[in-house]
């Protein structure tokens, strides 16, 4: 029976010849991930199971990235608990401080997630790794605790919705705009428990940074996962980071999809998601006059080096609007270093930006940029729910880094071609 790439990955890891949507299967996990917020409960579950050792100390990653550097005593205690567990079980992939960064950025960067793998993480944006041609999905912390003990998890095989992007990208349009437009088209529940497979000529031309952005936000349409079949771009990225033998799988030509959605990229302009939903999208040209208090450029969605380059190109030789805060957070220490070497960080500083350490920061209203009541921000993050970045009476708009940088200059939401 012909299968999609998602079905092939799941069948391989379940040790069966084929699977179909709706099947309940038990699969072996290649990488299990938790962070400083989700790891403590996973560790508690692991200890309650009574297993003396983790299933594989090289297939677990623990990353301190949400409330770090520790913003208060409770966050410090969480990291301390995670660090102690990592030491007890000799977890090879434990990252904190200068070795750390945003989990969904540093794992691909360090070659820890690869095509054909099954990756589960106690974080909803674990679906990011589907950009590499892996099946990756978020799970609850209690589920992750069981995975750390057994190395296996039960899954229901999701149906696949295939999104085909044809045509050519307009100037200033990035992967962020493609996925925002798609979420606007599908709705926040349009891909509920489905694998969103991104394909077509436009995807083939996207750099890995844009692919990571798109897979990252599959969850915002309700998806179980997002995935892109591996190609030359994928393999070149992986070859620089890992010498491991790869499992390269692709869907059969006659594979069955729940539905196929065709999108013409020529019709997509830079998008802005209005409060309080990633699906509430409008072309930036139709936004109107919306003044801002804060601009944030970073996160697991758009904290990649290419994103910082985009923003710096807009900000070069310019100053941000008076009374506005511009916060920039590189996704990893490697990205931070490269941004310094390329003069990107200097451009941001000259423009009046605040540069934060590689972490999640303002994205979840954690710290380093929490919004006050009545304040508005435009952000390159993935969610803009009520209270997502701070006060429940604040407003968050989502955009690509080009629009965010242009908006920092004018003090209101602005298209990059207007600068």
Strand partners, 326: 295
Enclosing H/E stretch for 28: strand 24-28
pLDDT digits (tens, 9 = 90+) for 122-131: 999 999 999 9
Other beta carbons within 10 angstroms of residue 153's beta carbon come to 20
Strand partners, 116: none
pLDDT digits (tens, 9 = 90+) for 276-304: 999 999 999 999 999 999 999 999 999 99
Query: How many residues belong to the chain?
Result: 419
**Whole-angstrom distance, CA of residue 127 vs CA of residue 227:** 8
Do 119 and 252 meet the contact criterion of CB atoms below 8 Å apart? Answer: no
Q: What are the structural domain ranges in the chain?
A: 6-263, 273-418
Q: Which CATH architecture has domain 6-263?
A: 2-Layer Sandwich (3.30)
* CA neighbor of 138 nearest in space, from 238, 40, 35, 212: 35
pLDDT digits (tens, 9 = 90+) for 45-88: 999 999 999 999 999 999 999 999 999 999 999 999 999 999 99
- Where are the extended beta strands (E) located within 112-258? 118-121, 135-138, 152-156, 160-166, 195-199, 225-227
Q: What percentage of the chain carries pLDDT values higher than 90? A: 99
pLDDT digits (tens, 9 = 90+) for 384-410: 999 999 999 999 999 999 999 999 999
pLDDT digits (tens, 9 = 90+) for 120-165: 999 999 999 999 999 999 999 999 999 999 999 999 999 999 999 9
Mean pLDDT confidence for 86-93: 98
> To the nearest whole number, what is the mean pLDDT of the chain?
97
Q: Residue 400 contacts by C-beta under 8 Å, 6 or more apart in sequence?
A: 172, 173, 174, 176, 177, 270, 271, 302, 307, 310, 380
Do 124 and 138 meet the contact criterion of CB atoms below 8 Å apart? Answer: yes
Can you give the pLDDT at residue 89?
98
Do 403 and 410 meet the contact criterion of CB atoms below 8 Å apart? Answer: no
What CATH fold (topology level) applies to the domain 273-418? Answer: Aconitase; domain 3 (3.30.499)
Question: Residue 176 is encoded by which pair of tokens?
Answer: 């962020």
Query: Is the fold of 6-263 the same as that of 273-418?
Result: yes
Instruction: Say if residue 366's pLDDT is above 90.
Output: no
């Amino acid at each position: 029976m012909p299968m999609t790439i998602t079905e092939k990955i799941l069948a391989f890891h379940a040790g069966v010849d084929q699977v179909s949507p709706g099947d309940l299967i038990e699969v072996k996990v290649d990488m299990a991930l938790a962070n400083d917020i989700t790891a403590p409960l996973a560790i508690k579950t692991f200890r309650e199971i009574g297993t003396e050792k983790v299933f594989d100390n090289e297939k677990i990653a623990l990353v301190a990235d949400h409330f770090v550097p520790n913003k208060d005593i409770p966050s410090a205690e969480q990291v301390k608990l995670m660090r102690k567990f990592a030491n007890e079980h000799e977890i090879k992939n434990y990252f904190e401080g200068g070795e750390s960064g945003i989990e969904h950025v540093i794992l691909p960067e360090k070659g820890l997630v690869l095509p054909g793998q099954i990756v589960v993480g106690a974080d909803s944006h674990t679906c990011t790794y589907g950009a590499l041609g892996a099946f990756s999905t978020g799970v609850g912390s209690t589920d992750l605790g069981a995975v750390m003990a057994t190395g296996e998890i039960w899954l229901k095989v999701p149906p696949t919705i295939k999104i085909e992007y044809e045509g050519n990208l307009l100037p200033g349009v990035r992967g962020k705009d493609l996925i925002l437009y798609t979420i606007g088209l599908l709705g926040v529940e349009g891909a509920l428990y489905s694998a969103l497979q991104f394909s077509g000529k436009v995807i083939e031309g996207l750099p890995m940074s844009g692919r990571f952005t798109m897979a990252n936000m599959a969850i915002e349409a309700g998806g179980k996962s997002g995935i892109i079949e591996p190609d030359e771009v994928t393999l070149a990225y992986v070859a620089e980071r890992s010498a491991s033998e790869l499992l390269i799988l692709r869907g059969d030509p006659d594979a069955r999809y729940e539905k196929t959605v065709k999108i013409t990229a020529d019709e997509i302009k830079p998008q802005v998601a209005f409060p309080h939903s990633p699906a509430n999208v409008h072309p930036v040209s139709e936004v109107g006059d919306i003044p801002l208090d804060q601009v944030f450029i970073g996160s697991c969605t758009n904290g990649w080096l290419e994103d910082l380059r985009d923003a710096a190109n807009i900000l070069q030789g310019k100053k941000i609007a008076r009374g506005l805060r511009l916060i920039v957070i590189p996704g990893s220490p490697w990205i931070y270093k490269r941004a310094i070497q390329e003069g990107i960080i200097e451009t941001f500083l000259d423009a009046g930006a605040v540069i934060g350490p590689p972490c999640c920061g303002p994205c979840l209203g954690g710290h380093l940029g929490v919004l006050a009541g009545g304040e508005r921000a435009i952000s390159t993050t993935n969610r803009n729910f009520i209270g997502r970045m701070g006060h429940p009476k604040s407003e968050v708009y989502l955009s690509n880094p080009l629009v965010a940088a242009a908006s920092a200059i004018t003090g209101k939401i602005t298209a990059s071609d207007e600068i």
